[in-house]
Structure 1
């Protein structure tokens, strides 16, 4: 067991980060769209399927979102505007709809390029949680229903396993798959992880996402409405100095390109950053392994050489995949999220100092062996490749 520490206090209410007004409006509209979908789909039993489809189509999420928003605008905004000025909606909005659309799109791109709210580590506390706002309640219910479709069970390393709230953790998630679904267990209250380890998701916990996702209209709103921050080293170091724990998929985009159903391929032997950070700040590393995450989509190796070149040179990952019915809907297969025993690293003499390279190599090798053992003990006939 790891020695106790007092680095973190019990969960407490934290301020939310400040984000631009336009982004707040977009988040409200997106929540409204998903709230409407919840109300419409809940009685039909189709909500888990559509929610899982939205998750699988994460980076195309803006299209269906704004489709619903456009319908809402036509039904609600139009009559309200016409009540003040007869035919104003048809004359000034519909007549110039493409100009309005172009201007709003460019404005969103500009805000996305200039806004750095994803660097605000202290305020990264937005997450799926209980709310008195009926729109937020309904929107959260829509997203939570995806767990009914992609059923993720959490299996800790021991029946009596605990994660003390007075520790600081780096949750290292594997494998990435097309989408790193196990990351969702950290998004807030009510998930399988939150029920098994209560308090962790509320106790200053942030996820790491690549800088590019905070620049894409629609996608950035999704990540800013959850507890994600920029994965840049200086931002992560600020988060750790503020005694926050983090969760991250260590294999990132390169690992997504190597996804094959029935196999688990981890890009790990060269990924020393999370170990270096853990040694610098005295964090425990907790391995998180989603067995079955690689099986949720069918993947193809077409043009792999060029796509790997893009990933290595420009950090752009373009996996070729599909789910059920040739859509982004994941195949309906269970995912067992293994929570490994925390790897306790030695505390630094000076918090934040750069650790010795040999020490980093030593603990990376120990961590890799822990991951191999975790996989071996909980799978049968499933190939694990670590590169």
Structure 2
């Protein structure tokens, strides 16, 4: 039913689908605004409660003791297993639905960096695939331990910090991540746009990884990620782009203008669209440890990774993208 250009959901939507939508809406509410709510709830408990404020002071002592945990591997699996297997995430993954696909087996005796492209608005594909165990990432890659990397600032927010910790997130320096952990947003993704003919991914590449790399990079492509929201593109030099860059330099995050759907209508809102997302894990690229790499060596391995990423996209796009022959990947 459509009223004044707004397409409303039918009244006979099954309860299961309503529940899935509710859970994804809660996830957006917590994930996108968790920093804000963490501070707001903390202020309320300190100034407007009589007893809880004293427990909060004990919590601050715990935060002080626990401050560097994010740089030392995060919470152990014994603390994250229950949260990662919660039925909440099953409804979350079934909403789109999300699917995890591997192209090759990985040696459990080695460590890897999964480089995910594209990041999207909130990295929904990667979150469902590797921050939970619902899609059986540990069965697909037996023997490997999964940790996702997020911004350091999220581990400094009272109360909210326990949310990423409970799902196995951490924030370590690149050397430790290369040595001990699997998943990392080692290549930072800034802007993602999907046009009718071109999927554009703007990448800020950290080429210094070759100086400390003694592991393998694994290209990962999240097909359908950029379809979940409509996003306004701001070209370089525009006023909106300058504002985005200024705020990103100030707080580490660039504000973006986007729209998905609402709870009872499909035309606009903060909830992502109900569209399939498939996360495809490609073949690893072995990297040597080079103490003092030359510019030529850095460019060589950088080119190898880019080539592997494009190859993964080109060989798999026909399985997951409509009119795939008209869609290309530009880096």
Normalising to structure 2: TM-score of the pair? 0.74
Q: CA 1:56–1:344 in 2, change beyond 3 Å: closer, same or farther?
A: same
Alignment partner of 1:297 is 2:229:
yes
From 163, 176, 182, give the equivalent of 1:222: 163
Q: Deviations over 1:275-294 (max 9, x none)?
A: x4366241111001101101
Correspondence list, 1:307-318, <5 A: 307-312=244-249, 314-318=251-255
Distance 2:233 2:55 in 1: 33
Alignment partner of 1:382 is 2:327:
yes
Q: Deviations over 1:22-79 (max 9, x none)?
A: xxxxxxxxxxxxxxxxxxxx97653321222233331224789999x9xxxxxxxxxx
Alignment partner of 1:146 is 2:92:
yes
Contact 2:223–2:279 (Cα < 8 Å) also in 1: yes
| Structure 1 unmatched runs, 5+ | 1-41, 70-93
Distance 1:217 1:223 in 2: 12
Alignment partner of 1:341 is 2:283:
yes
Distance 2:293 2:222 in 1: 30
Alignment partner of 1:272 is 2:206:
yes
Contact 2:285–2:305 (Cα < 8 Å) also in 1: yes
Distance 1:66 1:212 in 2: 12
The residue number in structure 2 matching 1:22 is none
The CA deviation at 1:147 is 0.5
Distance 1:126 1:293 in 2: 31
What secondary structure sits across from 1:147 in the alignment? Answer: helix
The CA deviation at 1:240 is 3.4
Q: Deviations over 1:327-365 (max 9, x none)?
A: 3211011112121111112355xxxx4544432221111
The residue number in structure 2 matching 1:177 is 120
The residue number in structure 2 matching 1:362 is 300
The residue number in structure 1 matching 2:320 is none
What secondary structure sits across from 1:264 in the alignment? Answer: strand
Distance 1:314 1:112 in 2: 22
Q: CA 1:313–1:357 in 2, change beyond 3 Å: closer, same or farther?
A: farther
Q: Which has the higher helix share?
A: 1
Distance 1:140 1:175 in 2: 26
The CA deviation at 1:373 is 1.7
Alignment partner of 1:245 is 2:182:
yes
Distance 1:178 1:332 in 2: 15
From 48, 51, 57, give the equivalent of 2:23: 51
Distance 2:91 2:39 in 1: 21
Distance 2:91 2:38 in 1: 17
The residue number in structure 1 matching 2:135 is 191
| Structure 2 unmatched runs, 5+ | 1-13, 235-239, 263-267, 318-323
Q: Deviations over 1:232-285 (max 9, x none)?
A: xxx3323434x3333326234x23xx44466533233x4124xx4366241111
The CA deviation at 1:154 is 2.6
Contact 1:207–1:246 (Cα < 8 Å) also in 2: yes
What secondary structure sits across from 1:223 in the alignment? Answer: helix
Contact 2:114–2:220 (Cα < 8 Å) also in 1: yes
Alignment partner of 1:119 is 2:91:
no
Q: CA 1:154–1:327 in 2, change beyond 3 Å: closer, same or farther?
A: same
The residue number in structure 2 matching 1:73 is none
Q: CA 1:62–1:327 in 2, change beyond 3 Å: closer, same or farther?
A: farther
The residue number in structure 1 matching 2:49 is 100
What secondary structure sits across from 2:133 in the alignment? Answer: coil
The CA deviation at 1:163 is 0.8
Contact 2:114–2:219 (Cα < 8 Å) also in 1: yes
Distance 1:247 1:97 in 2: 36
Contact 2:193–2:231 (Cα < 8 Å) also in 1: yes
Aligned residues: 293
Q: CA 1:143–1:188 in 2, change beyond 3 Å: closer, same or farther?
A: closer
What secondary structure sits across from 1:163 in the alignment? Answer: coil
What secondary structure sits across from 1:365 in the alignment? Answer: helix
Contact 1:261–1:299 (Cα < 8 Å) also in 2: no
Contact 2:177–2:184 (Cα < 8 Å) also in 1: no
